[in-house]
Structure 1
């Protein structure tokens, strides 16, 4: 084979590679153009659908593939398995309805159906606004919530608490809760334990153990994953959300009587 023939053969062999590279480049340009067109159309649709929304820039997100919805401890989260993203967000439809909040409310209503008020430790006056509380005697945020309830009661804003104990998070929670329920005055003993006054010897009794076992079944059925968890007006609040609780108390506050006219 002559040198010229060898050069020609090499050129012919490299031709498919060049053609393939050119085709790939052309395909890439086409894909980029398609994505740019799709982004422009999406931006225009965002303007048209949410006319009051102002935003500075617009572009692709790191999320790809379908997105799924899950409920975790009363909170709605979203998961994109393709890009492996966990999303904490509020989803609105074109009419401005918060679909995330709606899903949370629906979940709370389902949970309320499995709660038996007769099995709760009731604390507070019967005529006060009612809250459902899942608590843990060893949880510092539960102890802070207890101080909050006491402060609000002293301000003239008492609540009727239906208390259920969560005993799967801290190893000594079940024994403390049983001690509270076995005491002559469970309400007073709960306040003592939550303030840190835990006796060296904890009371035990069959009735107290039964209460803890029943509460554990309720906790599992509802899916409580954190303490405190408070349900107010059908809304599940995970953690000590003081602002939400203040708003709840304000909504249910009794109007003050108008002062009598001076004669």
Structure 2
């Protein structure tokens, strides 16, 4: 609760003295169009996907990949943080969760590595050399009530061996066995078996990039988005079962 109060106080200080009158233009979209134009002029190097109004008048939500930041057009300030309501709920986290849930509605699951046939659906974005990805994979492999759809996104700058491992997994005659071997560290620092690359990694990277994801691990557990290997939250969602 202390963290919530501090975050709210910090946001209040940032907003102090900022006029809250909405822009006159683009009333039909809550001023988001005018705010986006101002944002482009003020921060030309900032890459963003969309701008939306927020419940706080004069502050606009800026979507950049999976991240949400805020922009105040009147004062031309960016705010990196969260907006909390009077009930102690993070509106930022709720918006991010909804935004990321919406992005998987048309996801081509047939392109993923599928493991299991349980009632719970888990979509994963993973890097085989990411220690948090391995930790989560070990947890998920111990349950028999999951259908896993795995998309690979090797972070080659920090895990130089990851790309070759992914290509090996996706090109194997039995990708599931290859995946388990790699995630258990069988080929860490050792040569991979010979394989003919089927170029499936490029398809996975295109899909992941389209989701706005830039890191690993990421999960959608029965449609609910989780960033990172939060095993406790994952277990709660799995035990609750699929949404009806």
Tell me the TM-score normalized by structure 2.
0.66
Shift of 1:73: 5.5
Q: 1:75 to 1:180 in 2, by over 3 A?
A: same
8 Å CA contact retained: 2:132, 2:228: yes
Greater helix content: 1
Deviations 1:21-41 (A, max 9, x none): xxxxxxxxxxxxxxxxxxxxx
Q: Which residue of 2 aligns with 1:225?
A: 214
Within the candidate set 130, 135, 141, 2:132 is matched to 141
Partner of 1:197: 186
Match in the other structure for 2:114:
122
The residue that corresponds to 1:258 in the other structure is none
Tell me if structure 2 keeps the 8 A contact 1:114–1:218.
Answer: no
- How far is 1:97 from its partner? 7.7
Partners of 2:228 and 2:222 lie apart in 1 by: 16
- Which consecutive unaligned segments of at least 5 residues does structure 1 have? 1-53, 254-263
The answer to whether the Cα contact below 8 Å between 1:74 and 1:237 also exists between their aligned partners in 2 is: no
Is 1:74 matched with 2:66? yes
Partner in structure 2 of residue 252 of structure 1: 241
Q: Distance in 1 between matches of 2:222 and 2:90?
A: 17
**Which stretches in structure 2 are left out of the alignment for 5+ residues?**
19-57
How many residue pairs were aligned? Answer: 190
- TM-fit CA distance, 1:138: 1.3
Alignment partners' CA distance in 1, 2:214 and 2:104: 16
Q: Which residue is 2:46 aligned to?
A: none
1:238: Cα distance to partner?
1.4
In 1, Cα distance between equivalents of 2:172 and 2:66: 32
Q: Which residue of 2 aligns with 1:88?
A: 81
- Compute the displacement of 1:104 (Å): 2.2
Please report the TM-score for the alignment, with normalisation by the length of structure 1.
Answer: 0.61
Given the superposition, is the C-alpha separation of residues 206 and 238 from structure 1 closer, same or farther in structure 2, using an over 3 Å criterion? same
Q: Note if 1:61 corresponds to 2:5.
A: no
Change (3 A) 1:131 1:214: same
RMSD: 3.1
Q: Which SS does the other structure have where 1:180 is aligned?
A: helix
Q: Provide, for residues 239-261 of structure 1, a one-character-per-residue CA deviation record: whole Å limited to 9, x for no partner.
A: 111121011122029xxxxxxxx
Given that 1:73 and 1:226 are in contact with CA atoms closer than 8 Å, whether structure 2 keeps it comes out as: no
